[in-house]
Amino acid sequence: MINRSQPAKKYRQRWTKDDTELTLLAAPTTIWYVLFCFLPMFGIIIAFKDFRISGNFITSVFRSSWAGGNGLKNFESLFSFGDIWTIIRNTLAYNIVFIILGIVIPVVLALIINQLHSRIAAKIYQTAMFMPYFLSWVVVSAVVFGFLSYDKGLANKIIESIGGEPVQWYMSPQYWPYFIIFMNLWKSVGYGMVVYLASITGIDGTYYEAAVIDGATKWQQVRYITLPLMKTVIVIMFILSVGRIFYSDFGLFYQVPKASNSLFDVTYTIDVYVYSMMKSGTTGMASATALIQSVVGCVTILLANALVRKIDSESAMI
């Protein structure tokens, strides 16, 4: 029998060699996050200040007065800005399209490449689709300009060769939503495809062998085996994408359109607005915008995860 009058023995875990190795392995990442993610959070105070440079950064922060006396003037000015709702609309609309296409197209491509019998051909296609991911938007913008330049652009040369009039692409906003969506997919679809393809290759082959014995077609194998077993990865990628729904790729929306004022209504997003505020010297408003962007993004990712957890708790991140 157990003598409950005696206190339970306490066991102290001993520090092992494995603990030391794992700690050293984690140290660089931990230090990086502390220096570049946690310490800079001190700068949040700038969002509530009428920031003026007077000496070094720390001194400038403390010497700057509170914006509007109560520290909320930057936020009030942000929402009184006439085009703020156009900026928010652009950011959300593009990201919704990016999220949908950024899941559907890479999944389809991963399924197609997985069906290839030639591994060499599969590797070639993967590499070709993944390469644009490593290109800088500065380089991509130069290539795009080579196609869309009014005087010497390839697109206008082709139009002129068939008897048409050249188009001033950088002053024609009606075309740019399609350009933006295409360029985003062209650059990012390879990364998503590789992630989903890795998920597919991790599926136990015995499932497919059993399906073939039962007479399942390729489509039935995809529908009843591959997609259900990919569900967790797809959901995680969806949650991460939703968490950045209030962010935009600055290079895509600023570098590629060459910051053309004529394209303001279709290319101006929150990140471009923050950069414009920083460039004009209104650091307080830029910080206030970035703070709201971060808070709303955090809330969005938590809500998306909560929704997924309610529908399918096994697919949720936490």
Joined tokens for residue 317: 């991140």
Mean of pLDDT values over 31-46: 88
Burial of 286 (0-12, 13-18, 19+ CB in 10 A): buried
**Per-residue pLDDT tens over the stretch 122-158:** 889 989 999 999 999 999 999 999 999 988 889 999 9
**Confidence band for 309, pLDDT divided at 50, 70 and 90:** confident
pLDDT for the residue 58: 82
CB 140 within 8 A of CB 275: no
The reported pTM is 0.83
The amino acid occupying position 212 is: V
**Per-residue pLDDT tens over the stretch 257-280:** 988 888 989 999 999 998 988 888
pLDDT for the residue 191: 92
pLDDT for the residue 169: 93
178 pLDDT higher than 80: yes
5 pLDDT higher than 60: no
Q: Which of 6-20, 52-66, 153-167, 275-289 has the highest mean predicted lDDT (pLDDT)?
A: 153-167
Greater model confidence, 14 or 292: 292
Dihedral of the alpha carbons of 234, 240, 243, 247, in degrees to the nearest 10: -110
pLDDT for the residue 1: 45
Q: Which of 1-5, 55-59, 274-278 has the highest mean predicted lDDT (pLDDT)?
A: 274-278
**Per-residue pLDDT tens over the stretch 203-218:** 888 998 999 998 988 8
pLDDT for the residue 2: 46
Find where tokens 């999220």 sit.
99
Joined tokens for residue 182: 């295409």
Greater model confidence, 281 or 31: 31
Mean of pLDDT values over 237-266: 89
